[in-house]
Structure 1
């Protein structure tokens, strides 16, 4: 890398910082803009020597670009402020769809839109702001369509591009997508229907690979794609755009076209691809960045590409400063920069020991993984360790599935040809799906790190060490290298040796040796799954799991450490994400399910998946009883046919266990104070409980009389570290302490284990061992 490669870096850094400050602290934007303009004047006045002119010019451009970003944010603030006032109310929104739609974890269809008007019903106000809308699944929500929705609006946090999130209860298509957008939507719908007739695996994935339509991708496969670093293949990311550009460039070269014509044809093909997959902002950004990166690499001028990429990023941030706070844009820019600057030298370094084509094939995903890893660690807790290998295995199939699938989509007016092309694209799609599923099941396919700056710095150090080791053989240097070069190489090798050793040890402790860290005498376990509930009860070798927490990976790790393979009884207290988000971890290995009342279609779909995996479903209502091993269980809540508490937190399943080695225990789900009071009147709670799982993670909405009545010896608070809700609340901790309960918290003590021995309770935590009494 030379000085010319990074001379425009100050512009990008300055603009990015200005954008971040502006979107998170809007009130100071005009002050910052004034400061930037003052900086321009100071540079102009202070520049008197010709040799300083270059640096002065760069400073002037940087300050000017920063001012432009700040002005963009300032001009958008009045409309955004007006829209935010609608937060927390039921509103009527008329808007134009600006993105493709995808199915969320809640079962809704989610898409971005730009409002035309917003306000209470029949009293709309004209305002144009970006919003995020969730509707029940249906057709017609294509880019370019104009819709009217009525639903509850929720204001977003500072820094988010969308001003509001709207949960629609009523929807109407005022005007379907027309023109080229309408044609593209029709082609996509026909292609999705055609792909659905193909067998799995691969059928649902094919539309995602070819045209970015992920509605048919199974939830399990989607998670596997994410954990193996292959999700970018279905996100219409820079990889898809690069495939289209590269394929067109290569075909044009085979036809003998000159370089200028090849570039022009690649640009036309990329434009057509963007229209076909819906030209939403994220697709356009990916197309611009990937197009710059690919063309500059293909024409053999990557250094020019670095400058073009810097200008492209700067222009995009000026047009939409809120992108500075989005992980997707940061990853697109970083991956494009890696392709331009790092893939070639990494390829040369690997080429010393591998054939050139294989070296380049490995260098492309490796460079992207090394550069994007620290950014991912800022926002996500999962780091894929198998991503480079999975991308390498999927690399030969991805271009075929994308290009042939896209041709199948375009050939929809000629059904026989479209069927042939779709069937041809199915095979590489099935290969990618199988790669994701297989790789995700490997030990240590991913690791969990707390998202934030410390994790990002750790990943950055490891990534840099890998880069140094690989680049060591890039050039042959005559003589002995300088001391600092030798020192950096030795430190890098030491870092990798330490990481490999720690990783191998952790793999053993989390895998074959996981149960060695778990005491034998436990009967109740509270898994540390973050902000959510996942509690295990064991009696005579049989297992009950009460809720699954928000994350399948965290639940799977806990169950593995407990030596749990089969769930005899699964209790789903209610269907909030922090209680059912980890269902995938137990799919196919559940015997019976007790569940609260489903209130949305997504709830019923979760139950259907459990039933299809062999589980027997039961509506849990007060009075239902059963046996777990030698222990007895009894459902105390909800009341059958309750009108006052029909669903949600207040209809949480409350269950007690007793006997068979299990201390008398009560699990309160997320009940609030009102149903807690009714529970006391309808259930026999006298006699005291050894263990109580405190309701709703220790929120403040508790009934003191309930906890005085149950008189718990141990009170479990299942909450996440530094959660946004402040759980458990101080007043609830004081309430339980006043009843004489010994407080146990997963956010402070990690996984909790409770057992009974000689009439006494024993508690094991990840930080201490004790016998409360």
Structure 2
């Protein structure tokens, strides 16, 4: 007697399980074999190259991407010499360059370089650093050369159009983000729209679908339609470069077309599973690619979760609206836990932003791709690029709008804990919304899901209320000098009227960005980079594209010059003693660095700035000067004490000159310093010098954000100070 389970006979069910297990073992063995066969050459290259001067010939196999320190590209070694020793060729590497002119997919580079091991688990065996312009570049030729020409032609056509919408056109059409500056890139990430410039399954589906329609319109047979669709797919992959998400989407499309050719139905989830298995067998290192994992997770969510979510929400919303919301919600539920591994936060408006951008993105993709292919006809290309600009500008405007909203990111636990917590929350949301999930689980599961979702919503709303309402209302808005809490680093703001100066950016962009948002600073009229240590310039990304005048200390190498260039300031000036300028109603004056070889670039050549003006405490910011430079500054006669607010030099290190602080006569001494730092800052000796004479001490490790201003009294002007963790007032009347 046959027994059925869930409507499937037991014998057939067992046979299906055996088949799945067999196929899984076959692909697991293939994956292990691929990694095993590649291991000897990979290990020989990894152990023989680091620490040596290399002669390298490499073929670029991936998209050239801009980074904070130059450019990077995936490549395959065709030849590598370390002195007389020939190292294995054919291994994948990552190339770091300072100048990517003439380098694209398919280009061949011959150059001298150095290398170091890539991180474990990476596809690349080595990271090859080219410190100068590559010796010889053979541009991509043939089909790859044509694709490179088409991409550059589209970028050139888009560059004639205005605003960030023009910069997005190549990215939306063919995944070329070279024109997207750091500010726009940050806005796209904040709005969870950066995936629109990463070519995915939707782009492949559009291309293959159009090819099929055109072939069918011409009366082509099914087999010929599949061939034409496959050729269009291959050409599209070459055009957009074979990134992990592109390869995944193209493999799925190829499998679906093969099923069509064989006259078999193809289930989306089965196609996705087979595509992932094939790709991992051919390239096991894709398993460590976050881009590949996000692509698979998003596709799986759309196949499995989007329709049930839409059905569940349609009980409360119009069906079309429910369908529109379900797609980004499903993707966020699936991808969110992976994203928190690299960015511990949840985009508060990601779903809303994707709903707003949804009508425009496909239009920009299709019309932009047509503009790219119309490169041989410049007039037609220009017209199509102008049409693509409209939806592209809509996407850019959506990202800009979201970036102006309060609490754009909800803080979340990082690492595996954050992943598990967000996965649980996503599961709870699915249990509550999906109709089948409400009927089948036990009542306890539904109650747990409701509890988790309710608690999470409460915490999120509470965080939103605190961050968007309570903190701004409790933060004084009459400040004139602000010391941001950015950890072990400097970031001091000075405001006069509507103008703002920022002195240094701290070690990371996130704390500085939070401080600027909290204080309502949208534009930095004057940015001072006292010197180029990481704890003073590491947060540059928070102000890129927002700077009027950049004053910087001595640049020591090409890395410093690169930092200066990527700020995109309206004016750039190397600071020297004696310079002066205006900031609203106030004036600033550079007192240091001196033109002396005795103080080379670095701490002792830090830019020292004095500020004074109506309503502004007389302020002196001492950078990271050591005792020797402090003595020279005191002897130079440039100082005009007394100063009401002084920033203690070098986070309160012991290398201080007591005579300087005695002469300054400060009412308030600011010490930007990280909690529990490894240097023991601020040192007791420095604290003693700073507080001598009755000056109040404010330090960011204990006080958090510190704001200072001036209050008029009968006896003169008094410095007032607000501390985030202990609000008090201090005197200092003059």
TM, length-normalised to structure 2: 0.79
Task: Give me the whole-angstrom Cα distance separating, in 2, the residues matched to 1:118 and 1:644.
Answer: 42
Is contact 1:665–1:692 with CA below 8 Å preserved after alignment? Answer: yes
Alignment correspondent of 1:8: none
Moved more, 227-236 or 150-159: 150-159
After superposition, what is the alpha-carbon deviation per residue over 1:341-386, rounded to whole angstroms, capped at 9, x for unaligned? 2122223323445555554343222211111011111101453222
- Determine whether 1:82 maps to 2:47: yes
After superposition, what is the alpha-carbon deviation per residue over 1:630-670, rounded to whole angstroms, capped at 9, x for unaligned? 98755343234869735x6665423356897647654325x
* SS in structure 2 of the partner of residue 334 of structure 1: helix
Task: Give me the whole-angstrom Cα distance separating, in 2, the residues matched to 1:64 and 1:770.
Answer: 68
Task: Give me the whole-angstrom Cα distance separating, in 2, the residues matched to 1:363 and 1:276.
Answer: 31
Task: Go from structure 1 to structure 2 and tell me whether the alpha carbon gap of 1:63 and 1:286 turns closer, same or farther (over 3 Å shift).
Answer: closer
Alignment correspondent of 1:44: none
Give the alignment partner of residue 632 of structure 2, picking from 666, 677, 681: 681
**For residues 1-16 of structure 1, what are the structure 2 equivalents within 5 Å?**
none
**For residues 25-36 of structure 1, what are the structure 2 equivalents within 5 Å?**
none
After superposition, what is the alpha-carbon deviation per residue over 1:458-510, rounded to whole angstroms, capped at 9, x for unaligned? 433332333233214x6895xx984225414532552354145325414532x
Alignment correspondent of 1:188: 151
* SS in structure 1 of the partner of residue 305 of structure 2: helix
- Determine whether 1:751 maps to 2:698: no
Is contact 2:501–2:528 with CA below 8 Å preserved after alignment? Answer: yes
Task: Give me the whole-angstrom Cα distance separating, in 2, the residues matched to 1:728 and 1:643.
Answer: 30
Give the alignment partner of residue 654 of structure 1, picking from 593, 608, 628: 608
* SS in structure 2 of the partner of residue 545 of structure 1: strand
- Determine whether 1:508 maps to 2:468: yes
Is contact 1:383–1:449 with CA below 8 Å preserved after alignment? Answer: yes
Alignment correspondent of 2:11: none
Task: Give me the whole-angstrom Cα distance separating, in 2, the residues matched to 1:490 and 1:665.
Answer: 56
* SS in structure 2 of the partner of residue 169 of structure 1: coil
Task: Go from structure 1 to structure 2 and tell me whether the alpha carbon gap of 1:357 and 1:270 turns closer, same or farther (over 3 Å shift).
Answer: farther
Alignment correspondent of 1:637: 592
Is contact 2:599–2:629 with CA below 8 Å preserved after alignment? Answer: no
Alignment correspondent of 1:13: none
Measure how far apart 1:534 and its partner are. Answer: 1.8
Alignment correspondent of 1:534: 491
Alignment correspondent of 1:620: 575
Measure how far apart 1:333 and its partner are. Answer: 1.7
* SS in structure 2 of the partner of residue 309 of structure 1: helix
Consecutive unaligned residues in structure 1, runs of 5 or more? 5-48, 722-726
Measure how far apart 1:292 and its partner are. Answer: 6.2
**For residues 199-210 of structure 1, what are the structure 2 equivalents within 5 Å?**
199-210=162-173
Task: Give me the whole-angstrom Cα distance separating, in 2, the residues matched to 1:295 and 1:500.
Answer: 47
Task: Give me the whole-angstrom Cα distance separating, in 1, the residues matched to 2:488 and 2:202.
Answer: 34
Give the alignment partner of residue 498 of structure 1, picking from 450, 454, 458: 458
Task: Give me the whole-angstrom Cα distance separating, in 2, the residues matched to 1:295 and 1:468.
Answer: 36
Task: Give me the whole-angstrom Cα distance separating, in 1, the residues matched to 2:681 and 2:453.
Answer: 50
After superposition, what is the alpha-carbon deviation per residue over 1:588-647, rounded to whole angstroms, capped at 9, x for unaligned? 87665433345656445456x332xxxx6543212435676898755343234869735x
Is contact 1:704–1:735 with CA below 8 Å preserved after alignment? Answer: no
Task: Give me the whole-angstrom Cα distance separating, in 1, the residues matched to 2:236 and 2:197.
Answer: 14
- Determine whether 1:131 maps to 2:93: yes
- Determine whether 1:148 maps to 2:110: yes
* SS in structure 1 of the partner of residue 95 of structure 2: strand
Is contact 1:754–1:764 with CA below 8 Å preserved after alignment? Answer: yes
Is contact 1:292–1:309 with CA below 8 Å preserved after alignment? Answer: no
Measure how far apart 1:214 and its partner are. Answer: 1.6
Alignment correspondent of 1:406: 369
Alignment correspondent of 2:354: 391
* SS in structure 1 of the partner of residue 163 of structure 2: coil
Alignment correspondent of 1:668: 623
- Determine whether 1:169 maps to 2:169: no
Give the alignment partner of residue 287 of structure 1, picking from 246, 250, 271: 250
Task: Give me the whole-angstrom Cα distance separating, in 1, the residues matched to 2:151 and 2:398.
Answer: 25
Task: Give me the whole-angstrom Cα distance separating, in 2, the residues matched to 1:257 and 1:488.
Answer: 55
Task: Give me the whole-angstrom Cα distance separating, in 2, the residues matched to 1:535 and 1:286.
Answer: 47
Task: Give me the whole-angstrom Cα distance separating, in 2, the residues matched to 1:638 and 1:302.
Answer: 74
- Determine whether 1:561 maps to 2:518: yes
Alignment correspondent of 2:74: 112
Measure how far apart 1:538 and its partner are. Answer: 5.1
Give the alignment partner of residue 729 of structure 1, picking from 671, 678, 683: 678
Task: Give me the whole-angstrom Cα distance separating, in 2, the residues matched to 1:747 and 1:84.
Answer: 43
* SS in structure 1 of the partner of residue 94 of structure 2: strand
- For this pair of structures, how many residues does the alignment match? 699
After superposition, what is the alpha-carbon deviation per residue over 1:42-95, rounded to whole angstroms, capped at 9, x for unaligned? xxxxxxx99996797588558746744763674355235325623xx7654331
Task: Go from structure 1 to structure 2 and tell me whether the alpha carbon gap of 1:733 and 1:718 turns closer, same or farther (over 3 Å shift).
Answer: closer
**For residues 299-698 of structure 1, what are the structure 2 equivalents within 5 Å?**
304-354=267-317, 356-449=319-412, 451-472=414-435, 482-495=442-455, 497-499=457-459, 501-506=461-466, 508-509=468-469, 514-519=471-476, 524-529=481-486, 532-537=489-494, 543-549=500-506, 554-562=511-519, 564=521, 567=524, 569-574=526-531, 579=536, 593-597=550-554, 600=558, 602-606=562-566, 609-611=568-570, 618-625=573-580, 634-640=589-595, 645=600, 651-656=605-610, 662=617, 665-669=620-624, 677-678=628-629, 680-684=631-635, 691-695=646-650
Task: Give me the whole-angstrom Cα distance separating, in 1, the residues matched to 2:216 and 2:533.
Answer: 55
Task: Give me the whole-angstrom Cα distance separating, in 2, the residues matched to 1:633 and 1:199.
Answer: 35
Consecutive unaligned residues in structure 2, runs of 5 or more? 8-13, 692-696
After superposition, what is the alpha-carbon deviation per residue over 1:266-317, rounded to whole angstroms, capped at 9, x for unaligned? 44332221011223556324533576699999x9999944344334334434
Is contact 2:412–2:418 with CA below 8 Å preserved after alignment? Answer: yes
What is the root-mean-square deviation of aligned Cα atoms in Å? 4.8
Task: Go from structure 1 to structure 2 and tell me whether the alpha carbon gap of 1:771 and 1:420 turns closer, same or farther (over 3 Å shift).
Answer: closer
After superposition, what is the alpha-carbon deviation per residue over 1:647-695, rounded to whole angstroms, capped at 9, x for unaligned? x6665423356897647654325x6x6xx64454354499999754453
* SS in structure 1 of the partner of residue 133 of structure 2: strand
Task: Go from structure 1 to structure 2 and tell me whether the alpha carbon gap of 1:84 and 1:289 turns closer, same or farther (over 3 Å shift).
Answer: farther
Task: Give me the whole-angstrom Cα distance separating, in 1, the residues matched to 2:216 and 2:313.
Answer: 27
Measure how far apart 1:566 and its partner are. Answer: 6.2
Alignment correspondent of 1:704: 655
Alignment correspondent of 2:10: none
Task: Go from structure 1 to structure 2 and tell me whether the alpha carbon gap of 1:396 and 1:738 turns closer, same or farther (over 3 Å shift).
Answer: closer
Give the alignment partner of residue 71 of structure 1, picking from 25, 36, 54: 36
Task: Go from structure 1 to structure 2 and tell me whether the alpha carbon gap of 1:618 and 1:85 turns closer, same or farther (over 3 Å shift).
Answer: closer
After superposition, what is the alpha-carbon deviation per residue over 1:318-355, rounded to whole angstroms, capped at 9, x for unaligned? 44444333321221121121122212222332344555
